[in-house]
Structure 1
Amino acid sequence: MFRKIAVIILCVSSILVGAQDYSASWKGYFSFYNVKTVVEGNSKIYAAADNAVFVYDKQTNDIHEITTINGLSGETISTIYYSDAYELLVVGYENGLMEIVFDNDNDVLTIVDILDKVTIPPTSKRINHFYAFNNLVYISTRYGVSVFDLERLEFGDTFFIGNGGTQVQVNQTTVYDNYIYAACAGDQGLRRASLLDTNLIDFNNWETVTTGSFIAVTTQGDNLYAVRSDRRLFKIENGLFTELIQFGDSPLDVQAVNNNLVVTTRNNMFVYDTMFNLVSQLDIDSNFTTQYTSGVADTNYMFVGTRDFGVLKVDLFNTSTIEEIHPNGLLLNRPFGLQAEPNGLWVTFGEHDLWYNPYPLNSRGISHLKHGEWINTAYSDLFDAKCLNKISVNPFNKNQVFISSFFNGLLELNDEIPTFLYNETNSALESLVLANNPSYVDIRIGASAFDSNGVLWVTNGFSEHQIKSLNPSSNQWKSYSIDQIVPEPALNHGFKDIIVDNNGVKWMTAGYSYGVIAFNENGGNPKMKAIYSEEQNMPFTFSTAIAMDKRNQLWIGTYRGLRVLYNTSDIFENDNIQVNEIIIEEGGIAKELLFQQYITDIKVDGSNNKWIGTSDSGIFYFSADGQKTIYHFTTENSPLPSNVIQDISIDEVNGVVYIATSRGLVSFLSGSSSPFTTLEKAYAYPNPVRPNFNIVEDKVKIKDISENVNIKITDIEGNLVAEGQSRTNQRYGGYNLEIDGGTAYWNGKNLANNIVASGVYLVMLSDLDTYETKVLKIMVVR
């Protein structure tokens, strides 16, 4: 029972939130190379990466992922613990959040007691370690020790064990001879209290065993060990400390598992038996240049977490036998640039900040999802190209890819192989010029896009000619200045987006002063115009995203809201260009859509609907005109790892929306696809519709239809069952037959709103533009 002492009691009951399994519509793409913590339980190895966990079954060698798709929060993990007795995994986070993952179902319980406690400073809420004794888990944190009951799934007492009841950082706890020991940082010593004492919340009942700063304390059978911050390991007997060893590096992880004492440093892993005899020692292998983080061992193998290779499985007695264990995944959980393709995705990780500053420069590779498998290319294989960001795939040669470097130029890959780096010495690309250091080279290549002729257009910020074009077939470069709008290169540091419309006009987001720039080379007599002023109804001069929809309307995201240019055809002739906000009705009140929101990206799907990412509010999915919010996904109602959206890219063939966040990459199967030019390939699925198929919820899909189509569904006798037309029965309109781009959805209901009986149904497709027709048959079995 809790004692009502405000200073030292954390909370009176655990706040539990059941997390949802999102695997039906969502998919996660997480990196598992950087493993922070490794634990063992239930004949499995549990490894925590940045914000996800993978489970390795030692008997079957199967690997299972636990991510935001299964209900994890996506926050940064600090430690984990597995309970064999209760068959559950406890996950602790840097921010104090706790989550419990149960073995036998998909439930994840989110526990926010520590996270929400206002009397604990946010910087002190980090969970450092879990230690279980009987049904209780002792939680080591930066403020002290909290107790969680695994039987009742609720918090117990919290112990502030510093002098005078102050908060002290506890790195690890253990129970030995009916005492709980706490390894404290900051010269707060090794402290203990008797478990027979029912008043451990009273700091006076905690005694200091010895002074100093302690990294770890653990129990191995009848042995009690402690590790001090000076890298010395002690055995404690009858209150006496016996130094056994001083490690060359500071121990990062100390665990007693399977009668072994396992100590992991960044360069070594040591396994000791109950007599402190060294059973095995693992040093850094030349084939796996990395740093170790955490490890466990059984009677045959060591399992050590690494910074770069997931978990290494090493023979206990032949350490040259090493197996790399982790799920297939991308390089990092910090995706920055995306480019989708049918059944694939390119990912870069080269960040720059809001003001187009790439420093400190990062040296990261690239990842390519191809037919369900990740192909990762390390930075060392990319001609030392730093800060890789935007990606363009040649529409006439899908195996040729260009990736912008915001420091080194433009990287070309062919058939997955980096083949050339364009820079100031071998192309028209230009470096910025520093008056005090004229030899310094910094080539800021950002947004890029192909036009309909296969010419690649790239933006070259901080340079005299900020627009460049490359014809890959002839290797011919051309350069263009926009000094009519940007008089000095230093006034425009970069471009977030560039698109080429059907008239060959290049539209660019131009840094934080010039809004959107329209440019056309016009046969050597360039035309250009900027949209950024208040008089043009722009909410801010800083444009951050643009997209041209299927009606040739330009959607503009800014640092402070959304605008649309409805008529783009007369951009150079019209001297009174005006952009418009979108006004929606909400609760009977007229409001501006995304008022004052910092918009990070805009993408248009096959149905002309809009996906709009924001800097802190997740991602929105709007109808074609913006009047209806179809979805608004955040970390609260979806598996988004973060509400900070970095980039969006859509596989229009399969209706997959890829979403890069500041903490990871996920995708959503929207079902929306681009229409086809003919009805030749149209088909329906599932077909037949079997009794176990939920036709009302999951719907029959009629795929690969044309843009302007009429669909009639009749029974075999010709009685009309359902009818729809592309421009009328749009998706999310509540119709029994809805049409969304290249796909139609039938919920199995007839005109009387009843589910149809078993039988054969005819789907009659009519293209309203070409008069092409096609008839499909669907068998429904109920």
Structure 2
Amino acid sequence: MFKKLVVFIVCIIPVWLLAQDFSASWQSHFSYYNIKEVAQGNDKIYAASENAIFSLDTQTNQLEEITTINGLSGETISTIYYSDTYELLVVGYENGLIEIVFDNDENVLTIVDIIDKPTIPPTTKRINHLNGYNNLVYISTSYGISVFDLARLEFGDTYFIGDGGTQIQVNQTAVYQDYIYAACSGGNGIRKALTTSVNLIDFSNWQTVTTGNFTGIESQLDNVYAVRSDKRLFKLDNSTLSELAVYPDQPLDLRSVNDDLIVTTKNSVFVYDTGFNLLSQSVVDLDNFPTEFTAATIGENYIYVGTKNFGVLKTEFLNPISFEEIHPEGPLLNTPFSLQATPNGVWVTFGEYTFDYNPYPLNSRGMSHLKGDEWINTPYSEVLGARCLNTITLNPLKGSQVFISSFFNGLLEVNEEVATFLYNQDNSDLESLILPSNPSYIDIRLGSTTFDNNGLLWTVTSRIKKPLKSYNPTTGQWKSYDFSSIIRDPLNDNLGFTDITIESSTGTKFIAGFPNGIIGFNENNGSQLLKSLKGEESNMPDDLVLALALDKRNQLWIGTYRGLRVLYNTSNFFDNDVQVDEIIIEEDGIAKELLYQQYITDIKVDGSNNKWIGTTDSGIFYFSSDGQKTIYHFTTDNSPLPSNSIRDISIDDVNGVVYIATTRGLVSFQSGSSGALQTLENAYAYPNPVRPGFDIVEKKVKIKDISENVNIKITDIEGNLVAEGQSRTNQRYSGYNLEIDGGTAYWNGKNLANNVVASGVYLVMLSDLDTYETKVLKIMVVR
């Protein structure tokens, strides 16, 4: 009956939205180390990180994630509350958004009433606390109190309880003996009103109990307790405050569970009975878990403590000495900056710098590696002091070796998941920028790196005379290349380099940066070629270039601060009067420039030569190889992206997984596109056999590990042609029954008459049009 009521109300109230479940094609990779809030109910402990939630079943110890994949918004969570009566989790956000997650229901209800309230400033819409009472939830906000009815799933009144009906910050509410109490900031103290009053929106019905700054208030059977901002906890008796405790640190969380009062500070959790006798005290274990507590709850003879660095720590109620770390697998942080995909995994770093390539304040954040289903997290203490880690480059000749750039300390070498060496100004050709005012200052701003076909690692360092360097990991030899002919003042004439890519046939290195646009460099057998392409004369929309990608036709795709350009002929880059071109598309009969004025952050080319392009505020686009067709445009509105600000993209070409780093976390999309192989030797088809329960039309039969230029014919056992396609003709998303996308072909089970084939054995004849290699596969279809 309750679920039916939910459906009915959703249909009639337009400010509610039902979020979609995206688990079929997407996967989340959020961090659960920094816990903002915990809650409990229905034999589960819920813990909220910055923008994702996990639950622990206290009976089975099973963990379950609730993320943008399930329909959460991806915004920053401020508090959560679980209702046992209605079996739902209420999630409050810093921007005023509220979402409701129902038990055993795939839908998430999104409520935007507070966000859409024009009379409330955006800076005061934060949800500070959620207090359930009967069928209501009192929502403490930075403007006052709003009421939400869980039975009807609708908002009630909003109370502005400041003097004269002004908006004041309410941090927490509690209900005791028919009174609702509010703990307020800004010297507004504690205020109370009768819950039975029919006119609580009238500020005059709210009494001031006491003045001061109060951060929390809670009821416990026959008691009301309040926490003041000076670390003091009081018992409230009518209008009288009795001081009970002064804590070494400011209490961060105050709650009552099973008639016990729980007070959490950054270093301790205190649990009191109804007589305020201390039942248990848990103290942070700095030796094994150097962290700070954030919130705590109790259940099943255990204390569950949210922390800043270790997820939830579980300890025995009566003997809170040892801790068990609890959280799902995930990276160190929800602020990924650079990615490098591998087959069945991805490397992640978190080192940021500003728009103008300033790494300050320096960050010390370590690195993460998803390897299969396991996250291997390496904290800053184990990366040899390398700060501001950014670009990750895998050694193609040694799979276990990884090089990671530091935008302050140099180049970090990682072998077998362990940081083993840090290259800097003392042990390599890497150089620090030179400040005339402080010659002893060391600052190696190493940005993008890449390997060439000869196994040389090419690096670019900002604000020095010889920014381009090569390193041979086998011999240990370094070489440096001077750019002073185009960058006269190395300290001030080029603030940073964002990307580097190498054209394999000529060996030309294309480098993106600011303010010199695209820099091209070729060793040219000792007669070096060096050129900068920028300005209106080259048709560049902006001199800040953030992304470069060479596609399979050796066309250079260029992402800038104000739009997209393509250099269609890279071989003539060093000629005079070279220009880049915009891509013109037709939209509603009008010619338009593709991604006009968009701030482009990254470009990646997949196995079928299609382009993934990230932007700073418009999400991520997936274009056909020539940019004329938009295959996907993912934003926070139609996908699990936690943010429309894309930082980096990396593609696992073997499995067709696209990893997307945003300002609020990491997600991945199963595109199905994979890189082509050199031969047909390992080609195979799946599922095989195709069983009756398989939806062949929608899910399609995949023919994997095919070569780049291939013809495919599918016939029945008698030799009748059923479907045919070629790599450069039957491309994916073109509506053919047989489509080819890089190293994978997709057959929807239909024949030339556009009917689904009958049961039987079908032959797949593969022919490489370049090498004339052939291979025949068999597929059994059972209907």
Label 1:133 to 1:14 Cα distance change in 2 as closer, same or farther (>3 A).
farther
Structure 1 residue 524 displacement after superposition: 2.8
- Which deviates more from structure 2 when the two are superposed, residues 501-510 or residues 475-484? 501-510
In terms of mean alpha carbon deviation, does 516-525 or 145-154 score higher? 516-525
What corresponds to 1:131 in structure 2?
131
* Secondary structure in 2 matching 1:535: helix
Query: Which residue is equivalent to 1:204?
Result: 204
1:545 aligns with 2:554: no
Q: Deviations over 1:495-521 (max 9, x none)?
A: 100011113534344432211111012
Matches within 5 A, 1:304-383: 304-383=305-384
Partner of residue 532, structure 1: 534
For 2:325 and 2:283, how far apart are their aligned partners in 1? 15
Within-5 A mapping of 1:231-242: 231-242=231-242
Q: Is the Cα–Cα contact under 8 Å of residues 507 and 516 in structure 1 kept in the other structure?
A: no
Listed one character per residue, the Cα deviations across residues 185-237 of structure 1 (whole Å, up to 9, x for unaligned) are 11111111111111111111111111111111111122211111222211122
CA distance in structure 2 between the aligned counterparts of 1:716 and 1:665, rounded to whole angstroms: 47
The amino acid that maps onto 1:758 is: S
- 3-state DSSP class of the match of 1:250? coil
1:655 is aligned to 656
Instruction: Give the corresponding residue for 1:589.
Output: 590
Q: Which amino acid aligns with 1:657?
A: V
In structure 2, C-alpha distance between the alignment counterparts of 1:521 and 1:429, rounded to whole Å:
19
Aligned-residue offset at 1:299 = 5.1
The one-character-per-residue Cα deviations of 1:78-121 (angstroms, maximum 9, x if unpaired) are 00001111111110001001111111111101111111111111
Corresponding residue pairs, total: 770
Q: 2 CA distance for matches of 1:734 and 1:493?
A: 47
In the alignment, which residue of structure 2 is the partner of 1:88? 88
Letter in structure 1 aligned against 2:120: I
1:494 matched to which residue of 2? 496
Alignment correspondent of 1:219:
219
Deviations 1:276-309 (A, max 9, x none): 1101111111211110000001351100000000
What are the residue-to-residue correspondences of 1:755-766 with 2, within 5 Å?
A: 755-766=756-767
Letter in 1 for 2:149: D
The CA distance in 2 between the partners of 1:111 and 1:387, in whole Å, is: 38
Q: Distance in 1 between matches of 2:282 and 2:320?
A: 6
AA in 2 matched with 1:288:
F
Q: What is the rounded CA distance, in whole Å, between the counterparts of 1:742 and 1:415 in structure 2?
A: 29
Q: Structure 2 matches for 1:106-505, cutoff 5 A?
A: 106-285=106-285, 286-298=287-299, 300-490=301-491, 491-505=493-507
Aligned to 1:717: 718
Write out per-residue CA displacement over residues 672-691 of structure 1, whole angstroms, 9 at most, x where no aligned residue: 01111111111110111112
Query: 1:114 is paired with a residue of what secondary structure?
Result: coil
Determine the structure 2 residue equivalent to 1:679: 680
CA distance in structure 2 between the partners assigned to 1:358 and 1:281 by the alignment = 41
Considering only aligned residues, what root-mean-square deviation do their CA atoms show, in Å? 1.1
| Residue number in structure 1 paired with 2:39 | 39
Instruction: Give the conservation status (yes or no) of the 8 Å contact 1:679–1:773.
Output: yes
State the alpha-carbon separation in 2 of the partners of residues 745 and 709 from structure 1: 13
Tell me the equivalent position of 1:752: 753
> What TM-score results when the alignment is normalised by the length of structure 2?
0.97
CA distance in 2, matches of 1:122, 1:601: 31
Q: How does 1:31-70 map to 2 (within 5 A)?
A: 31-70=31-70
What are the Cα deviations for residues 635-694 of structure 1, in whole angstroms up to 9, with x where unaligned?
Answer: 000000101100000010110100000000000010001111111111110111112111
* Rounded Cα–Cα distance in structure 1 between residues aligned with 2:197 and 2:273: 32
Q: Aligned partners of 1:241, 1:488: CA distance in 2, in Å?
A: 67
Do 2:32 and 2:49's aligned partners in 1 also have CA atoms closer than 8 Å?
Answer: yes
The AA in structure 2 aligned to 1:571 is F
Segments of 4+ moved more than 4 angstroms: none
| Alignment-mate amino acid for residue 295 of structure 1 | A
Q: Is the 8 A contact 2:509 2:522 kept in 1?
A: no
**Which stretch of the first structure deviates more once superposed, 610-619 or 528-537?**
528-537
Equivalence for 1:622: 623
1:557 counterpart = 2:538: no
Residue 764 of structure 1: how far off its partner (Å): 1.3
Local SS of the residue matching 1:182? strand
SS in 1 for 2:321: coil
- Distance in structure 2 (CA, Å) of the matches to 1:698 and 1:150: 39
C-alpha separation in 1, matches of 2:321 and 2:229: 31
Identity among equivalent positions (%) equals 69
- Given that 1:21 and 1:69 are in contact with CA atoms closer than 8 Å, whether structure 2 keeps it comes out as yes
> One-letter code of the match for 2:319?
N
SS at match of 1:489: coil
Judging changes above 3 Å, is the alpha-carbon distance between structure 1 residues 275 and 506 closer, same or farther for their aligned structure 2 residues?
farther
For the residue of structure 2 that corresponds to 1:116, the secondary structure is: coil
Which stretch shifts more, 760-769 or 550-559?
Answer: 760-769
Give how far 1:13 is off: 6.3
Contact 2:78–2:94 at 8 Å: present in 1 too? Answer: yes
Task: Output the CA distance in 2 between the equivalents of 1:439 and 1:770.
Answer: 59
* Amino acid paired to 1:294: A
Distance in structure 2 (CA, Å) of the matches to 1:280 and 1:636: 46
Equivalent-residue separation in structure 1 for 2:678 and 2:312 (angstroms) = 49
2:578 aligns to what? 577
TM-score calculated relative to the size of structure 1: 0.97
Q: 1:606: how far off? A: 0.4
